[in-house]
Structure 1
Amino acid sequence: MKPETDATAGTGTTTGTDTTTTATGSESDWTRPERSPGTPPRVIVIGAGVAGLSTGCYAQMSGARTRIFEKHVLPGGCCTAWSRDGYIFDYCIEWLIGTAPGNNAHQVWRELGAFDGKTMTNFDVFNKVEDEHGRTVSFYNDPDRLEAHLLEISPLDTAPIRAFTRDLRRFTRIELYPFLTAPDLRTVREKAAMLRTVLPAFRLFWRTAATPMHTFADTFQDPLLRRAFRNIFFQDPEGFPLLPYLFNMAAAHHHNAGFPQGGSLGLARSVEERYRKLGGTLTYRARAEKVLVENGRAIGIELRNGKRYFAEHVVSACDGRTTLHGLLGGRYTSPRIEKLYSDLLHRPGTLFPAVVSVFAGIRGPFGPDEAHSTTHLLSAQDAARLPGALQNSIVVQVRSRYSDGFAPPGHSVVHCTYFSDFAYWKELRSRDRKEYRARKREAADFVRAFLERRMPGLADRTEVVEVATPATTHRYTGNHDGSILAWKAFSDADDVAARLVGKDRMRLPGLSGFSMAGQWVGMGGLIRAASTGRFAAQYLCQELGLTFRAWESDGAEPWHPGKLGRLPQLDRWSAREETGS
């Protein structure tokens, strides 16, 4: 995530125009259509988000030569961070599936080098919810502790409390992480293994997937519990059933939904390092303008500067609509594609909402007794003061407790977020930049005042406040409507997207030598994004006559914040904003 306007930026040891010659071959090997005789097939990847990096890593391991082209100056897409005055503003990860050894999700991350040299932070509480009157509920990951806590809050709600914790106990005994093999390539043995996991718990899966959280939450008599259960995932995603709450809390109970040292950009940098060590080449400040097609086959890409690069296969790991209607000009479609990108894309509730992020850098500690993550339920009066807010709540996370290096020694950094309306911010930024900046200041002022009310004296210790809006997300990642997770799970898009990955093999009708990866085909979440890169590599290996191969990284150098490289800075924008220009 870059700053809102012309801030300074750099990439540390990886330059923004990197075209280093590695095992992928010389520059001329990529600028002529014909592959040099006797050389491995070439694969171009558009986008250095987690999916693009994953695709590149697995294709390199499988013997292809790859190049990744990224329009930004950093890897990771939304999985990013930026900095100011010694504070690191970690944008993306709140919890990450696969942080505990012994499961397929963890194997994917180990193959990608994402955890090399890193420790993990785990919390006993998934999230805390506090209402306007100071009543709180802590969603402990341990079912027994959670049950005792909830019964103490509301003995009258014994039945739904015990029903929820009983199901949570059952989920703690289930391990289902189908992230290793693309659906259409699974062997009989792999399918049988999945059935052995699913069938004994089929009724549990079916019932919890068919029960909306809103419906379940409304069975509580206590008004706090009715509202709190909707916000276990920090804010109410609306439309989710019980299943994902139970699945993720069970994973957290086993320390399999923790936080990796180095955070979001740290994860992206580690996978980038793995990709380079495997021999791949990554070029920054290289925006793809179109996919080159000849006789119904993708043969390369053209960049904004007019340069053309050629390959035997092209993978687009960027925004789905941009891929279909921008890079490919809308020429390759199908009823399934039309359903997703002409109907569901514009249907309310199908995309995961965009967010406003307000970071505060604080001198000294931030409320030692405060939970690492708290959803504050706001009064209507308070909520009305949050520009573009979609819900009456704000999430406060003490990010300096998640990983070392996010704040200078003796300081704290807090990340406050709320779901927001992309159209509101886009219209403001397009129509009136001064008004747009004023609304950003309103969000910053609200957070400063809100935290001061909770901890008097905190405002005087607040050294830095930075704001990123949905328009910021859209500008620097290209994600449609600034959505950070693309299609909403359990929405009408879920089944359609699943068929793109399975039945369609992440391909488009009438176009060979091309595939898509990332959350716009595989749904949101970082492990899903990483797995689509693995799947894309498996599919293209079949096409190119390669044997898919993967092995875990052996990187052991301890992680340290210096591995983030030089981060984007927000100083220029902030100085200009303070003068009102």
Structure 2
Amino acid sequence: MAARDTGPQWSARPPGGRPRVIIIGAGMSGLAAGCYAQMSGLESRIFEKHVLPGGCCTAWARQGYLFDYCIDWLIGTAPGTGANDVWRELGALDGKRITSFDQFNRVVDEDGRSVTFYNDPDRLQRHLLEISPADARLIRSFCRDLRRFAALDPHWELKPPALKSAAEKARTLLGILPAFRLYWRTAATPMRRFADRFQDPLLRQAFPNVFLQELTGFPLLPYLFTMSCAHNGNAGFPEGGSLGLARSVEERYAGLGGHIGYRSRVERILVEDGRAVGVRLRNGQEHHADHVIAACDGPTVLDRLLEGRWTSPRTDRLYRELLDTPDNLYPAVVSAFVGLDGPLPDGEPHSTTYLLGPDRGADLPGCLQHSLVVQQRSGYSTGFAPAGKSVLHCTYFTDHRSWQELRKADRTAYRERKRQVVDFLRRFLAERHPGIGERIELIDVATPATTERYTGNTYGSILAWKAFSEADDVSTALVNRDRMRLPGLSGFSMAGQWTGMGGLIRAATSGRYAVQYLCAELGTEFRAWPSEGTEPWHPGKLGRLPQLEQRRTARKAAVAE
């Protein structure tokens, strides 16, 4: 699909024609909504401001390297699970190999002591007991719960509760009841409080960093659930990575008859007599439809696309109150890709979190938690590095405001701050792996300002609302009670992680829900079936990639805008 190709202009639906749906945004939720709309007999069109699908689920190229931005692990890679059903319907995993890891993450402290979080409960227990026999009771408790989670069917809701029959709700409840006490207890135990009970200081610091960096406010439940999924092959890394996932869903959508207009920025949602009737693009072109699904940044939808004219008590709470309340959004991230001439460091796990300590952490610009994650990204999938070369992916939590304000006020100072990240990484990696410094060909740094610039995500947040925060219950009610709608405005839905919480499987499922609600309103049968794509994945399926402007330092470090 060519950039700028918006297709024929849509006016009123012809008599007897299929109901028309316009979707704003070709992120994972928008692509999913388009696929399910086409499968359900609707006629859909997606308008996307960028030149690529996927939103934050993306990648970019530089000097032959592919920098894969989003996926650390993907829930739903194991056949026979509800989440996998969604990905199979969307064609996301067609022809792909899945890389699974025997460990979730390794954590190394300032003194070089390390703990490896193996996904296998028995191996993990033996390893942790070797580190700290004095913490045997807590270790056995955690690993016992991990075994219990691993034995459960990883439940995933394929239909929103509001559309379920009484019998369907009863079956869901019966499926959850046997593990209810386990869910309740682990959801009520904060990970930080649990970790602080360890006598060994390494374990106290390491446990909250199982998810690479500490997600404040998270209880034990998501750690146990996700590690158990990884143990069962249900949290792997799909061949092709982030953009590969988006391209596969894009291919599925096109195969179902859908059309994406790239470089087609929506400026306004057109409303007549309290009903959304279409969109106006930046070029002035107007397209009309029976329904509009906004699958993009929530504040942008309400404030700009709807001009602040429609809202609800729940969206007011989310976007006017909780948006600026600490710990409701996933933290912003600095993401740095390191291109290496030669192989990856020998004997290293796929992911390591290094605890830097306050002094060293202060040298890493904007580092919130004094820790740095290093992943061996080109070891996951082919196509991420030229022949004979490799890619490391280094990330850390940061604040959005300082990066964005500096970029606006002083572009030179902003680039200098990014060069400080480059210099830190060069020193750090050379210390960890002697001789690697001479092999570094480039370091590409993306900040929260970069994320906001390319995706439009408010505050550069990649995952939007954080689970187990104040926003969680409000978002859940927006989906399950308000049916992703705004009072007083018909013909309109919201979808995506700014509506239904963060994470790729949640984003895809929110697109599914939006179409299910729409089909119920139209009296149309919702239909979905697995893709039958069998062509093996290959890097050529990534298509043409943007070659971002390069700015080279004297030390051969490239720094992205």
- Shorter-chain TM band: over 0.9
SS at match of 1:161: helix
1:449 CA drift (Å): 1.1
Q: Is the 8 A contact 2:277 2:289 kept in 1?
A: yes
SS at match of 1:314: strand
Whole-angstrom CA distance in 2 between matches of 1:573 and 1:557: 38
Letter in 2 for 1:123: F
2:489 to 511, 524, 530: 511
Whole-angstrom CA distance in 2 between matches of 1:129 and 1:578: 27
CA RMSD of aligned residues (A): 1.5
Aligned pairs for 1:322-337 (under 5 A) are 322-337=300-315
**Structure 2, unaligned stretches of length 5 or more?**
none
Aligned pairs for 1:280-299 (under 5 A) are 280-299=258-277
2:286 to 308, 321, 332: 308
Q: Work out whether 1:423 is the aligned partner of 2:401.
A: yes
Aligned pairs for 1:62-81 (under 5 A) are 62-81=40-59
1:44 CA drift (Å): 0.1
Q: Work out whether 1:100 is the aligned partner of 2:78.
A: yes
Partner residue in 2 for 1:437: 415
Give the direction of change, closer, same or farther, for the CA distance of 1:225–1:262 in structure 2 (3 Å limit). same
Question: Which segment drifts farther, 211-220 or 545-554?
Answer: 545-554
Whole-angstrom CA distance in 2 between matches of 1:164 and 1:41: 52
**Structure 1, unaligned stretches of length 5 or more?**
1-13, 21-26
Q: Is the 8 A contact 1:397 1:416 kept in 2?
A: yes
Question: Which segment drifts farther, 179-188 or 161-170?
Answer: 179-188
SS at match of 1:117: coil
Aligned pairs for 1:222-233 (under 5 A) are 222-233=200-211
Instruction: State the aligned residue count.
Output: 559
1:194 CA drift (Å): 1.9
Q: Is the 8 A contact 1:296 1:512 kept in 2?
A: yes
Aligned pairs for 1:398-409 (under 5 A) are 398-409=376-387
Letter in 1 for 2:378: S
1:377 CA drift (Å): 0.3
Aligned pairs for 1:362-377 (under 5 A) are 362-377=340-355
Q: Work out whether 1:221 is the aligned partner of 2:193.
A: no
Partner residue in 2 for 1:42: 20
Whole-angstrom CA distance in 2 between matches of 1:453 and 1:318: 42
Give the direction of change, closer, same or farther, for the CA distance of 1:36–1:564 in structure 2 (3 Å limit). same
Q: Work out whether 1:264 is the aligned partner of 2:251.
A: no
Whole-angstrom CA distance in 2 between matches of 1:515 and 1:208: 34
Whole-angstrom CA distance in 1 between matches of 2:408 and 2:257: 42
Which of structure 1's runs of 4+ aligned residues deviate more than 2 A? 176-179, 187-190, 570-581
Whole-angstrom CA distance in 1 between matches of 2:174 and 2:435: 57
Aligned pairs for 1:146-165 (under 5 A) are 146-165=124-143
User: Deviations for 1:100-120, whole angstroms, at most 9, x for unmatched residues?
Assistant: 100110010000000011010
1:549 to 520, 523, 527: 527
2:388 to 395, 410, 413: 410
Give the direction of change, closer, same or farther, for the CA distance of 1:579–1:543 in structure 2 (3 Å limit). closer
Whole-angstrom CA distance in 2 between matches of 1:147 and 1:100: 24
1:157 CA drift (Å): 0.2
Letter in 1 for 2:52: L
Whole-angstrom CA distance in 1 between matches of 2:163 and 2:558: 59
Whole-angstrom CA distance in 1 between matches of 2:103 and 2:343: 20
Partner residue in 1 for 2:173: 195
1:511 CA drift (Å): 0.4
1:566 to 538, 541, 544: 544
Q: Percent identity?
A: 64
Q: Is the 8 A contact 1:99 1:120 kept in 2?
A: yes
Q: Is the 8 A contact 2:444 2:557 kept in 1?
A: no
Whole-angstrom CA distance in 2 between matches of 1:234 and 1:467: 19
SS at match of 2:237: strand
2:33 to 47, 55, 67: 55
2:62 to 66, 72, 84: 84
Give the direction of change, closer, same or farther, for the CA distance of 1:51–1:382 in structure 2 (3 Å limit). same
Q: Is the 8 A contact 1:67 1:280 kept in 2?
A: yes
2:159 to 156, 181, 198: 181
SS at match of 2:550: helix
SS at match of 1:572: coil
Q: Is the 8 A contact 1:176 1:197 kept in 2?
A: no
User: Deviations for 1:320-379, whole angstroms, at most 9, x for unmatched residues?
Assistant: 010111111111122212111111011011110000001001011122211100000002
SS at match of 1:211: coil
Partner residue in 2 for 1:498: 476
Partner residue in 2 for 1:10: none
1:579 CA drift (Å): 11
User: Deviations for 1:229-255, whole angstroms, at most 9, x for unmatched residues?
Assistant: 010000001110000000000000000
1:574 CA drift (Å): 4.1
Partner residue in 2 for 1:397: 375
Whole-angstrom CA distance in 1 between matches of 2:473 and 2:266: 29
Letter in 2 for 1:208: T
SS at match of 1:202: helix
Q: Work out whether 1:345 is the aligned partner of 2:323.
A: yes
Q: Is the 8 A contact 1:108 1:179 kept in 2?
A: no
Letter in 1 for 2:41: G
1:568 CA drift (Å): 1.5
Tell me the TM-score normalized by structure 2.
0.98
1:278 CA drift (Å): 0.3
1:284 CA drift (Å): 0.4
Partner residue in 1 for 2:190: 212
Tell me the TM-score normalized by structure 1.
0.94
